Amino acid sequence: MKKLNILILCLSTILLIPTNVHGAKKLGQTGLKFLDIGVGARASGMGEAFTMMEGDANCIFYNPAGVAKVGSEGAHMNAVISKTQWGALLRYNAAGLVYNAGLWGNFGISLITTDYPQSEWTTVDESTEQGYEELGYVDAGAYAAGLTYARTLTDKFSVGGNVRYAAQHMGQNMLSDSTTVENNVSGLSFDFGTIYYTGFESLRFGMSINNFSPEYKYQTYSFQLPLTFKIGAAMDLIDLIEEEHPDRSLIFSIEAIHPRDYTQRIHTGLEFTYMGMLSLRVGYKFNYDEEGLSAGVGFNVKGIRLDYSYSELETFDAVHRGTLGLGF
């Protein structure tokens, strides 16, 4: 009965966090929004309810404490390479690598790159027929490179952190004196997370803080990164009906998200895995203008994992993600 109460308490804590659906939306308060885009087909297939997932290099991008379990069941290294296509123009790529150094903990590196749609650079020129002069095309893009460290402090408690160098270039603009200014910005950001096992079957809960940073600045305009606080819980639901089930799992994950630039949100996800080889996933995001339902599938053969996910959008074309994972 005590353990059941723990389960109810963990889930209730997350579900009862106010979502402020009718509250004011805090739009336009952050920059470098590419750091908010979901990374990895496994995570996005579960509706990005990934804060309490473990043993995967994808955890670098959600909760660095999750990489503390990499190497605990065999392979000492885990690597992922992910590609996301948003519409026909925006390309978003990510890669991560985690190494299990034994008693020293786990170390990781990561890289995110983004190519923005190409657009023309113009300036007002009333002497021309169109009223402006074409100056070429804007060279725009962004990237973030990071280092990760995570460690299992006890058999129930893990912690982890990231430090990233993020940069964005948005072309040039011309001032009134005809001089040009490069619109470049860069700096450090930090992530921190924890995972705690309650002792009730595989139930765990924890939190993460992502994109904590000082202010960035474009010329005279200062802004902050998309700081996000998450609290979540996850459990293999088959634990509730079977004591031993090494050939299959059904993980349910739920989390509440408090972003700096929007109202609170809820992510939920399910992942069914059979024989460690086939995974089926589904997820849903609540309180989003565009995103909602997502689904995915994964195959794992001798340490080589292929994942695919489909995310439905309200107005725009659906988002497709593909990820290659290696354990060695």
Domains of the chain: which residue ranges? 2-327
Residue 300 and residue 281 in contact, taking contact as beta carbons nearer than 8 Å: no
**CATH tag, 2-327:** 2.40.160.60
**Any idea which of 48-52, 69-73, 79-83, 198-202 has the lowest mean pLDDT?**
69-73
Place of tokens 């989390």: 255
Per-range mean pLDDT, top range of 88-102, 110-124, 142-156: 142-156
- In the predicted model, is pLDDT for residue 73 greater than 90? no
- pLDDT above 70 (res 151): yes
Give the per-residue pLDDT at 27: 56
> Angle at the Cα of 311 (from 164 to 17), degrees rounded to 5?
70
pLDDT number for residue 176: 58
What tokens does 151 get?
């460690």
pLDDT digits (tens, 9 = 90+) for 240-293: 998 888 899 999 999 999 998 888 999 999 999 999 999 999 999 999 988 999
pLDDT at residue 20, as a whole number: 43
Q: What is the pLDDT of residues 192-230, one digit of tens each?
A: 999 999 999 999 999 999 999 988 877 777 888 899 999
User: What is the reported pLDDT for 316?
Assistant: 82
Beta strand extents in the chain (DSSP E only) = 77-86, 90-100, 106-115, 119-124, 132-138, 140-152, 157-174, 180-197, 204-212, 216-218, 221-223, 228-236, 248-259, 265-274, 278-286, 291-301, 304-313, 319-327
pLDDT of amino acid 33: 84
Burial class (CB in 10 A: 0-12, 13-18, 19+), 256: buried
* Ramachandran angles phi, psi of 284, nearest 5°: -145, 140
In one-letter notation, the amino acid at residue 130 is Q
Dist. CA 184–CA 239, nearest whole Å = 51
Backbone angles phi, psi at 45, to 5 degrees: -65, -25
| Predicted local confidence at residue 197, as pLDDT | 96
